[in-house]
Amino acid sequence: MTDPVVLKVAVLASGTGTNLQALIDQVHGRDGVRIVAVGSDKPEALALERAQAAGIETALFPVSDFNGNRAARDGAMADWLRARGVQLVVLAGYMQILGPAFLDRFADQVINLHPALLPAFPGLDAVNQALAYGAKVFGVTVHFVDEGVDSGPVIMQRAVELPDARVLDDVLPHVHALEHQMLPEVVRLFARGAVRIASTHPRRVLVGPLAVLPER
């Protein structure tokens, strides 16, 4: 009897790992998904403890171990992930930019979660950017990663209206709730082969049953 087809997922995280925990709780070991590796650039990242508690292999890739050479660090990390058969790399609060060589090795296989409705408010501190702008609608984007900063094709977006929001704590619980729903949902879609970039438009992502939506 052969094993069922399983999407092997890696998660890269720099911080507390609440989105990793959402993936562990909701899709790891079910829905055709298995998280096989968790990497971090920070030895103190709580994400590593969450992974270890779930029996998931972990590794550290601080750039200081590579004499500050980010390309060498990315190469070592890519080798580690490929050796584990990783098919999808999820950036869940990973606070490093991945270079083109890494992205070439995982072409259309790296996704990121961003706490804003891109293309608005890319980069760091997105929620505070939105608050400073006076935004009344906030949200979350899951997107493919390219060589830019939060500039890859959008896979999924969801919004929440918060017209009275004034400070970060008015927004973050709502944003985190969206993140914890959306990221597992997108990973499930990848496991079903239901996400692809349209051949007719490099920025249009088709999401649906086996991604057979018309490419208008």
Domain spans, the chain: 1-107, 112-216
Cα distance between residue 162 and residue 210, in whole Å: 35
**What pLDDT score was predicted for residue 181?**
98
**What pLDDT score was predicted for residue 5?**
75
Q: Assign domain 112-216 one CATH number from 3.30.1330.10, 3.40.50.170, 3.40.50.300, 3.90.380.10.
A: 3.40.50.170
Q: SS3 string of 125-186?
A: CHHHHHHHHCCCEEEEEEEECCCCCCCCCEEEEEEEECCCCCCHHHHHHHHHHHHHHHHHHH
Among 28, 114, 143, 174, the one annotated catalytic: 114
The sign one gets for the Cα dihedral 140, 144, 150, 152 is negative
**What pLDDT score was predicted for residue 208?**
83
pLDDT in tens, the chain (216 residues): 345 679 999 999 999 999 999 999 999 999 999 999 999 999 999 999 999 999 999 999 999 999 999 999 999 999 999 999 999 999 999 999 999 999 999 999 999 999 999 999 999 999 999 999 999 999 999 999 999 999 999 999 999 999 999 999 999 999 999 999 999 999 999 999 999 999 899 899 999 875 554 555
Cα distance between residue 85 and residue 124, in whole Å: 31
Equal fold, 1-107 vs 112-216: yes
**What pLDDT score was predicted for residue 1?**
38
**What pLDDT score was predicted for residue 127?**
98
User: What CATH number belongs to 1-107?
Assistant: 3.40.50.170
Q: Is 114 an active-site residue?
A: yes
